[in-house]
Amino acid sequence: MNKSSSGCRQPHPHTLKQLGWTDEFSQAFSKYSSPYIPGRVACRQKTVWEVFIDNGSVTAGISGALRRLDRFPAVGDFVVLLHQPEAGSSTIVDILPQKTVFTRGASEREGTDQVIAANIDTVFIVTAAGHDLNARRIERYLAIAHASGARPVIVINKSDLADDPALLTEDIIPVASGIPLIPVSAISGEGIDQLEPYLTPGTTIVLIGSSGVGKSTLINRLLDQPMQEIGGIRENDGKGRHTTTVRQLFILKGGALMIDNPGLREVGIGTASAGIAETFSDILELAEGCRFSDCRHEREPGCAVQEAANKGILPASRLENYHRLMRELAFEQEKSDIGLVRIERKRWKAIKIQARDIKNAKSRF
Ligand SMILES: Nc1nc2c(ncn2[C@@H]2O[C@H](COP(=O)(O)OP(=O)(O)OP(=O)(O)O)[C@@H](O)[C@H]2O)c(=O)[nH]1
Ligand SMILES: [Mg+2]
Ligand SMILES: [Zn+2]
């Protein structure tokens, strides 16, 4: 399937413009001329990049300068290639400024945000009926998606496994707070047409979600011909086995671009404080009624958030997850900043400003 000796090469007849190239990228590229050409990273395998160019693709390495600067192009990046077909080589020498960057909070070991994909318009947060359908996990994904600048959509796959598909969305509606929520079955095809509005030509969508939820199955359904390997399911826990191992950009039959990912083992919150404000806008709105402006909604007197939780207006599990993600965020920032108290204040301030912006934006509609 996709694991041929040539890596992830996909011949294609598309122009770069059909692959998401815009005037902004043209502008950024205008300082280069022949033998430099632009391209879009379709896949990365350790030290080799597969790059789409006009009507084809090339395999490329990166320049020593990029390597020294630790600037490794991500899937979806538009790059500048030193293209020397007669020498049989191509080298990526620059990365054009990104429209959006989708990062996951890094594990403690790595310490920095890790880019999953670049220049993304829409993030499909894929989950599935059964074990994976978990509101808390979706909140976490939402925070990261919001922080990336791309538009999130929640896709609930395997609707064919649900006794009552209508019930699938019930637990998720409160956490989605207005984000589109689309139940589908990648196997039967049910509901797939609901995804169409997000699959316009030249749009880039990234799929994220746990291993085994059916991301690759969904891509195969949207491709001209299946290209991705599909995993089996372990009998005992219904979970997949990390079938997809490389991140890769595909051209769908309707002309949209879609990036398949290996299932994410850990989704740290990283430094996605902006995303937290959007994900928990209900809590931040309630917080305006707290007595103290820096209330953390734990045991402070006059806390409007605790009060709402006690009255059952705010689900206790949602508040718990908010606290969990805030603690994680504090930990991440602690590592990259100085004194804890200052961080606490700064973080709170950033989130409050963000919440106010969201509120103002909402009230304009
Ligand atoms: N019943 C049902 N099974 C599905 C559906 N979509 C996918 N599956 C099954 O779920 C299993 C995992 O599918 P994959 O597409 O490999 O999952 P993935 O999310 O790509 O997993 P990773 O590559 O490991 O991250 C396979 O056995 C699929 O046949 C669906 O809509 N309904
Ligand atoms: Mg997969
Ligand atoms: Zn409070």
Question: Tell me, what's the pLDDT at 331?
Answer: 60
Residue spans in the chain of domains classed CATH 3.40.50.300: 101-260
Count of CB atoms situated within 10 Å of the CB of 182? 18
| Topology classification of domain 17-95 | OB fold (Dihydrolipoamide Acetyltransferase, E2P) (2.40.50)
Output the CATH code of domain 101-260: 3.40.50.300
Residue 193 alpha carbon to ligand 2 centre in Å = 21
Short-list 229, 332, 233, 225, CA closest to 275? 332
Cα 256 to Cα 223: distance, rounded to the nearest angstrom? 10
Cα 284 to Cα 288: distance, rounded to the nearest angstrom? 7
Could you tell me if 148 and 103 are in contact, meaning their C-beta atoms sit under 8 angstroms apart?
yes
Instruction: Pick one of 1.10.287.470, 2.60.290.11, 2.60.120.380, 1.10.40.50 as the CATH number of 273-363.
Output: 1.10.40.50
Tokens of 43: 């896949």
Q: Which bound ligand lies closest to the C-alpha atom of 231?
A: 1
Residue nearest atom 32 in ligand 1 by C-alpha distance: 158
- Convert the pLDDT of each residue in 334-349 to its tens digit: 544 433 444 445 556 6
Question: Does the structure show a pLDDT above 60 at 364?
Answer: no
Does residue 230 line the site of ligand 1, with CB under 6 A?
yes
Does residue 130 line the site of ligand 1, with CB under 6 A?
no
- Probe target for ligand 1 pocket from 243, 250, 258, 260, with the most ligand atoms within 8 Å of CB: 243
Closest ligand 1 atom to 262 CA: 25
Residue spans in the chain of domains classed CATH 1.10.40.50: 273-363
Residue 128 alpha carbon to ligand 3 centre in Å = 34
Could you tell me if 207 and 259 are in contact, meaning their C-beta atoms sit under 8 angstroms apart?
yes
Give whole-number Cα distances, 19 to 73, 142, 183, 247, in Å.
17, 26, 28, 17
Residue nearest atom 30 in ligand 1 by C-alpha distance: 158
Band of the pLDDT at 310, cuts 50, 70, 90? very high
Give me the count of residues in the chain. 365
Residue 354 alpha carbon to ligand 2 centre in Å = 34
Question: Tell me, what's the pLDDT at 234?
Answer: 45
Residue 129 is given by DSSP the state T
- Convert the pLDDT of each residue in 71-108 to its tens digit: 889 999 999 999 887 877 899 999 999 998 887 654 44
Amino acid (1-letter code) at residue 227: M
Residue spans in the chain of domains classed CATH 2.40.50.140: 17-95
pTM of the model: 0.76
Cis bond before residue 35 (omega within 30° of 0)? yes
